[in-house]
Amino acid sequence: MEIKYQLKPASQRRSEQFKPDKPLPFGLLRTDHMFIMDYEDGQWTNPRIVPYDNVAISPGAIVLHYGQAIFEGAKAFMHDDGEIYTFRIDKNAKRMNHSAEILCIPHIPEEIQIEAIHALIDVDRLWFPHQEGASLYIRPFIFATQDSLGVHPSATYKFMVILSPSGPYYPAGFTKPIKLLITKRFHRATPGGTGSAKAAGNYAASLRAGEFAKKFGAAQVLYLDVTKTYIEEAGAMNHYHVTKDGTVVIPEFTDTILRSITSESVMELSDRMGINTKQDRIKIDDFIKGVKSGEIVEAGGFGTAAVVSPVGEYVFEDGSSIVVNNNEIGEITRKIYNYYTSIQTGKIEAPEGWLKKVERRI
């Protein structure tokens, strides 16, 4: 792919001054540039890297009315050799095309997505945040731009990538377990719907539940399936629990659950970490009983932004709650977090192909 570069003059770039002294927020900071490519006349064209700025779209753009948009979330890490590596970016590119399929959006070859991401990181590499627990968060996304009020797939789209030097998703980072709300009031996804896609609309639909959860001091809702029987996932991460025998149990991936790259990676690393993992349909009633009886000894969430986020307490709408592991971070959770982040940051050798170096092109 021939990417056109229209870069900010060095004097106008902010990267040189980027020396954060306070813990970075998640997702608020931007780098100097962004990647854009258009879909017109049945093909992706005009790949370019330009200064980060607003994008003009028609007020009638399909995305603004019918939400035809998808995105990905990935991370890049700097290793001790001073080079930046993306983590399992091929998985994100593949999942983007899975989401594209579900939202009737044209595919983008995986290697083109990866090249776009690497080219942008290369340009903005000075933005890498040197701070414990921080990383360069990568947000690729595609949205429908055709000016049309009919409900049909758009004929035109934009694929963009933006970057955000970010700290932990939950402000306390890996120091304090979070709370989740168990409720039968909301559902994230329905069978045959868009639950396995990273569709913008799934997140719009989760906002009300998220705000409701906050009233109970919880970070998110633990969603159940539409029969209100099985655990699915949280609003922005997969769920796991650990049984007394040390097995990490992750809900089976159905078409109402986002197939988490973090969960998959943890399962792929299980032999190396010396832990058992399995996927299962998990009844919420069994989960609650298990926590109460002490059969379930740890729980938490897996996700790119969330990494490994221990959950210490599950609250209910009547104000009661159940506590896991004394509301402390458990041994297996700590082991997974340490191993996983050591692989991402190059302290432990990653399985073949998991890390891709961002080559210098300019």
* Nearer residue to ligand PLP within complex by CB, 159 or 302: 302
72-131 residues near ligand PLP, rule: CB under 6 A: 73
Cα–Cα distance measured from residue 253 to residue 250, given in angstroms and rounded to the nearest whole number: 9
Report, in Å, the least distance between residue 105 CB and ligand PLP: 18
Spell out, one character per residue from 305 to 344, where the chain touches ligand COI: x when CB under 6 A holds, - when not: xx--------------------------------------
63-122 residues near ligand COI, rule: CB under 6 A: 73
* Nearer residue to ligand COI within complex by CB, 146 or 304: 304
Residue 201 neighbours by CB under 8 Å, 6+ apart: 67, 69, 194
**Is residue 197 at the binding interface for ligand PLP, with CB under 6 A as the rule?**
no
Q: Which of 258, 311, 324, 343 binds ligand PLP (CB under 6 A)?
A: 258
Helix axis angle, 89-102 relative to 110-123, nearest 10°? 130
**Is residue 236 at the binding interface for ligand COI, with CB under 6 A as the rule?**
yes
**Is residue 157 at the binding interface for ligand PLP, with CB under 6 A as the rule?**
no
Report, in Å, the least distance between residue 316 CB and ligand PLP: 22
* Binding-site partner at residue 144 among ligand PLP, ligand COI, none, CB < 5 to 8 Å by type: none
**Is residue 165 at the binding interface for ligand COI, with CB under 6 A as the rule?**
no
Stretch that binds ligand PLP, among 14-22, 48-56, 179-187, 231-239 (CB under 6 A): 231-239
**Is residue 196 at the binding interface for ligand COI, with CB under 6 A as the rule?**
no
Neighbours of 216 (CB within 10 A): 17
Q: Which of 96, 103, 117, 261 binds ligand PLP (CB under 6 A)?
A: 261
Stretch that binds ligand COI, among 179-187, 285-293, 300-308, 344-352 (CB under 6 A): 300-308
* Binding-site partner at residue 166 among ligand PLP, ligand COI, none, CB < 5 to 8 Å by type: none
Spell out, one character per residue from 295 to 334, where the chain touches ligand PLP: x when CB under 6 A holds, - when not: -------xxx------------------------------
Contacts with ligand PLP, residue ranges (CB under 6 A): 73, 233, 236-238, 258, 260-262, 302-304
